[in-house]
Amino acid sequence: TQLLEQSPQFLSIQEGENLTVYCNSSSVFSSLQWYRQEPGEGPVLLVTVVTGGEVKKLKRLTFQFGDARKDSSLHITAAQTGDTGLYLCAVPKPGYSTLTFGKGTMLLVSP
Amino acid sequence: GAGVSQSPRYKVAKRGQDVALRCDPISGHVSLFWYQQALGQGPEFLTYFQNEAQLDKSGLPSDRFFAERPEGSVSTLKIQRTQQEDSAVYLCASSAGGTGGLPLHFGNGTRLTVT
């Protein structure tokens, strides 16, 4: 059983469209992180959310942590080709010794 | 350097060969992590060091996998008698936190192909 379920697994859209990807679990987390990974590179941290109901904005990206701290969403407004990549959510393993990642949503934005 | 550096970037090994993958973390970072990432999947945890101490190796898939960080800086992940299922990208990450504190800073990985 996967701790974090990310959906959709793959998303292909045109530049200018809006999209939302999801990260869901049945467990409660103290915090949740979103990373973006471009081909041939390592994941890069986008945001950390820690409070239930928290909304954070990073330019055209809006991140929300669920009220019960079990799920999160990432909304992108007016997608650009530079947004192409693998979007990963991750949560701390109990004891904070490491992060557990979801399988990711692969986003392809075409011109 | 400014970021986490991994070498080699690509490694092709014949089945049964031993390989060694190197990670240079960000200077001064206490925590170091190794992850394995299959194509199109999220990273899977392998092992964690705090300085030179290996505090968690629960993710190592078999006793053919061995990691060390003898002086608390550079780390090496060694895979003995490689198998085709070992083909993946191996990512190294470091963080400043002494208890695996976040965020993680990742290198660009080593892509291992076992033929």
| Nearest beta carbon to residue B104 from set A95, A99, A103 | A99
Q: Which two tokens stand for residue A61?
A: 């990206």
Chain A neighbours among B 43-102 (CB < 8 Å)?
A: 43-45, 48, 55-56, 91, 93, 99-102
Q: Is the pLDDT of residue A93 over 90?
A: no
What pLDDT band is residue B97 in, cutting at 50, 70 and 90? confident
Q: Do A42 and B106 touch (CB under 8 A)?
A: yes
Measured CA distances, A37 to A66, B52, B61 (Å): 23, 28, 24
- CB distance from A33 to chain B under 8 Å? yes
pLDDT value, residue A5: 96
Give me the amino acid identity at B29. Answer: H
Burial class (CB in 10 A: 0-12, 13-18, 19+), A78: exposed
State mean pLDDT over A20-28.
95
